[in-house]
Amino acid sequence: MKKLTFCVCILFLAFGLAGCTWMGTSMERPRINIANVTPMEIKLFEQLFDLELRIQNPNDSALAINGLSFELEINDKSFASGLSDQTITVGRFNSEIIHVKAITSLWSFLRQIAEVQKTGIPRVAYRIKGAIYAGPSSIKLRFDDAGEIQIPVDAKK
């Protein structure tokens, strides 16, 4: 019985040290960019978009992602939000594309259309911020990235 107790204690110690080692490593935050936007459903009060997000892992170890939440701003105004429970592994110093659904309200959607029509500029600035949940214990890694989206314009005008 003493031998069994001793073995169990050694196992707990080994797993505890392994967990602390993984937690102690300094993870650089992942970078997120919008690769593409595709409308999915346009309803009266909400719109649903498929966002292709490129997740870049600047770390020396793979990033096992098991969840993601985000807020999207367009032209410094809140536009959409989304969640994903997809699992994906982004290799060390590598990137992967993940498809997520973004939901926006009618007001946010119309405000952005009016802004583009008013300015006539075929691109908009965006900011995407949120958190990626990674690893076996779902460590929360925050991100906050920005860029521009080119809006296709009708060339027949």
Per residue in 49-98, pLDDT (tens digit) is: 999 999 999 999 999 999 999 999 999 999 999 999 999 999 999 999 99
3-state DSSP percent of the chain in helix, strand and coil, to 5:
25, 55, 25
96 burial class (0-12, 13-18, 19+ CB within 10 angstroms)?
middle
Residues in the chain: 157
| Tens digit of each residue's pLDDT (9 = 90 or more) over 106-128 | 888 888 888 878 888 778 899 99
| pTM of this structure | 0.75
Is the predicted pLDDT of residue 33 greater than 60, yes or no? yes
Domains and CATH numbers, the chain: 28-150 (2.60.40.1820)
Highest mean pLDDT among 20-24, 122-126, 140-144: 140-144
Per-residue confidence (pLDDT) for residue 139, from 0 to 100: 92
Is the predicted pLDDT of residue 133 greater than 70, yes or no? yes
